[in-house]
Structure 1
Amino acid sequence: MLRRAVVGQLSRWGIPVAADEAELVVTELAANVIKHVGEGMPSTLVLEWRGQRLRLEVHDRSHVLPSVRAAGCDEECGRGLHLLGALAADWGAVPTAAGKAVWCEIPVRAGRACRRVERAADALERYRTAKGGVAPYGSRRTAGLEQSAVELIADLLHWTAAIGHDPDDILDRAQVHYEAEAA
């Protein structure tokens, strides 16, 4: 459920390119809380998108900072922080008033297309809200955004025709822009 929430948030931000690494990192950080702090102990996940980096922090109530140790070939545990170090651009652990925070930053290769995806998702959410729609989660959310996209495009074509332009010409021009940027 936690991984799904992270992937959902990254999709809403328009940076699904970071989803695989984020899922792996979140799984490792959560597993460390369960193993070293205790199953069922409260912890908090914080995601923050800072330009070209995604910061993930897990806060828990233990004051014991993690330490990297060498794991033997036959050991089942002890490689998590090595994995974190390999995936992240930077990582660390800091004491907090309530315990500690273990954090890492993953590079986000959000190019022009990703910024366009983010803007489109925001526009579709606002469009659905303006029409009185609700924001479901998961696959229902995606289907709802797809329907909003179709309705928005149709409304834009009506607007284009109303101001005296050819809707087919506008669609052709949009397709040329899309293909040029996708290449």
Structure 2
Amino acid sequence: MPVAVDEAEVIVTELATNVVKHVGEGASAMLVLEWRRDRLRLEVHDRSPALPSLRDADCYEECGRGLHLIAGLAVGWGAVVTAGGKAVWCEVPLSAETDCLRIERAVEALERYQGAESGAGRRGRSRDAALEKCAVELIADLLHWTAARGHDPEDVLDRAHMHYEAEAEMA
């Protein structure tokens, strides 16, 4: 699976580093790789029930960017409590076609966001123009939401742009 080798190496390194950092050096962990049609599922199991969460990370900090990187490389990720601790998982696309999943999800979100009056039956350039307008409105609304919660909208945009560029570089 040469398509996913680089992504899998980075992800396994980040997940293993998290085990050492948050569970403890020498802690036992298990790596599970599973081929699922057009995706490679990677799971790291450890004995800690503490679930990881994305946190705000400065691009110049040495720590705190691992899960953001994993989220950027994977089409999906998560963590679940298990009988023996937890499992952190993610799925990596095995073909370029899988990258379309993110675009499809974005289109679905934009169509839901613009609501019933959107003219869902539009096709071609008219539909693209309507979705682009909706994307701008959604981004503006998200920036208002972040500002209302005391976050810096420019910082949020910078981090989102870094996330996007990391994904684009890996493509």
> TM tier, shorter chain?
0.5 to 0.7
Matched ranges for 1:30-69 at <5 A: 30-69=16-55
Runs of 4+ in 1 over 6 A off after TM superposition: none
Deviations 1:21-64 (A, max 9, x none): 00000000000000000011000000000010000000000010
- Give the secondary structure class of the aligned counterpart of 2:70: helix
Shift of 1:76: 1.1
| Greater radius of gyration (CA) | 1
- Give the secondary structure class of the aligned counterpart of 1:59: strand
Matched with 1:78 is 64
State the identity as a percent.
Answer: 70
Alpha-carbon distance between aligned partners in 2 of 1:72 and 1:22, rounded to the nearest angstrom: 24
1:24/1:96 Cα in 2 relative to 1: closer, same or farther (>3 Å)?
A: same
**Residue 19 (str. 1) matches residue 2 (str. 2):** no
1:51/1:63 Cα in 2 relative to 1: closer, same or farther (>3 Å)?
A: same
Alpha-carbon distance between aligned partners in 2 of 1:25 and 1:73, rounded to the nearest angstrom: 18
Matched with 2:78 is 92
Name which of structure 1's ranges 64-73 and 86-95 shifts more when overlaid on structure 2: 64-73
Shift of 1:71: 1.1
> Which ranges in structure 1 are unaligned for 5 or more consecutive residues?
1-14, 112-183
Matched with 1:107 is 93
Q: TM-score, normalised by structure 2?
A: 0.55
> Which ranges in structure 2 are unaligned for 5 or more consecutive residues?
98-171
Q: TM-score, normalised by structure 1?
A: 0.51
Deviations 1:125-180 (A, max 9, x none): xxxxxxxxxxxxxxxxxxxxxxxxxxxxxxxxxxxxxxxxxxxxxxxxxxxxxxxx
Does the CA contact (< 8 Å) of 2:51 and 2:80 recur in 1? yes
Shift of 1:110: 8.3
